[in-house]
A and B are shown apart, each in its own frame.
Chain A
Amino acid sequence: MLYNKKAVYLGIVILVVLLTAPFWAGLFGQNYTKTGVTKPNEEACIENVEFMRAQHMRLLNEWRDEALRNENRTYIAKDGKKWEISLQNTCMRCHKNYDDFCAKCHLSNSVSPYCWTCHIIPVEGK
Chain B
Amino acid sequence: MLESLIVVLLIGAIAWIGSAIGLTAVFGIVLPYVAVCVFVVGLVRRMIYWAKSPVPFAIPTTGGQEHSLDFIKQDKFDCPNTKWGVFVRMVLEVLLFRSLFRNTRAISFENDPVNNGPRVVYYSSKWLWFFALLFHYCFFLVFLRHFRFFMEPVPACISFVEAVDGVLQIGSPRFFLTGGILLVAILFLLARRIFDQRLRYISLINDYFPLWLLLGIVISGLYLRYFDKAEIAQVKIFIMGLTHFSPVISNLDLNGIFIVHLTLVSTLLIYFPFSKLVHMPGVFFSPTRNLPTNTREVRHINPWNPPSQFFTYPEYEDRYREAMAEAGLPLEKQPKPAE
Q: Which residues of A contact B (CB under 8 A)?
A: 1-5, 8, 11-12, 15-16, 19-23, 25-27, 29-35, 50, 53-55, 57-58, 60-61, 64, 105, 107-114
**Complex interface: chain A residues within 8 A of B232 (CB):** 54, 109, 111
User: What CA separation (Å) do A35 and B241 show in the bound complex?
Assistant: 13
Q: Is the CB of B231 within 8 A of A31?
A: no
Min CB distance B104 to A, Å, is 32
Q: Is the CB of B243 within 8 A of A109?
A: no
B152 beta carbon closer than 8 Å to chain A: yes
Q: Is the CB of A23 within 8 A of B243?
A: yes
Stretch in B123-131, B154-162, B207-215 with 4+ CB within 8 Å of A: B154-162
User: What CA separation (Å) do A11 and B47 show in the bound complex?
Assistant: 9
Q: Is the CB of A58 within 8 A of B229?
A: yes
Q: Is the CB of A108 within 8 A of B44?
A: no
**Complex interface: chain A residues within 8 A of B21 (CB):** none
Given the interface pairs A26-B240, A30-B152, A108-B154, the reply to whether A20 lies near B40 with Cβ below 8 Å is: yes
B271 beta carbon closer than 8 Å to chain A: no
Q: Is the CB of A107 within 8 A of B55?
A: no
Q: Is the CB of B44 within 8 A of A54?
A: no
B337 beta carbon closer than 8 Å to chain A: no
User: What CA separation (Å) do A3 and B54 show in the bound complex?
Assistant: 7
* B233 and chain A: residue at smallest CB distance: A35
**Complex interface: chain B residues within 8 A of A25 (CB):** 147, 150-151, 243
User: What CA separation (Å) do A114 and B170 show in the bound complex?
Assistant: 11
**Complex interface: chain B residues within 8 A of A2 (CB):** 48, 51-52
Supply 26 A–B pairs (Cβ within 8 Å), ascending by A.
Answer: A1-B52, A2-B48, A2-B51, A12-B47, A16-B40, A16-B44, A19-B40, A21-B147, A26-B244, A30-B152, A30-B153, A31-B244, A32-B236, A35-B233, A50-B231, A54-B231, A54-B232, A108-B152, A108-B153, A108-B236, A109-B148, A110-B158, A112-B162, A112-B163, A113-B172, A114-B169
Min CB distance A104 to B, Å, is 10
Min CB distance B84 to A, Å, is 15
Q: Of A19, A50, A61, A108, which one neighbours B171 at CB under 8 angstroms?
A: A61
Max chain A Cβ within 10 angstroms of own Cβ: one of B147, B159, B231, B243: B243
Q: Is the CB of A34 within 8 A of B237?
A: yes
Q: Is the CB of A109 within 8 A of B172?
A: no
Given the interface pairs A19-B43, A35-B233, the reply to whether A110 lies near B154 with Cβ below 8 Å is: yes
Q: Of A3, A54, A109, which one neighbours B52 at CB under 8 angstroms?
A: A3
Q: Is the CB of B244 within 8 A of A27?
A: yes
> Which residues of chain B from 126 to 152 have a CB within 8 Å of any chain A CB?
147-148, 150-152
User: What CA separation (Å) do A24 and B233 show in the bound complex?
Assistant: 20
* B227 and chain A: residue at smallest CB distance: A58
Q: Is the CB of B147 within 8 A of A3?
A: no
User: What CA separation (Å) do A54 and B44 show in the bound complex?
Assistant: 39
Min CB distance A76 to B, Å, is 20
Q: Of A12, A27, A107, which one neighbours B44 at CB under 8 angstroms?
A: A12
> Which residues of chain B from 250 to 284 have a CB within 8 Å of any chain A CB?
253, 255, 281, 284
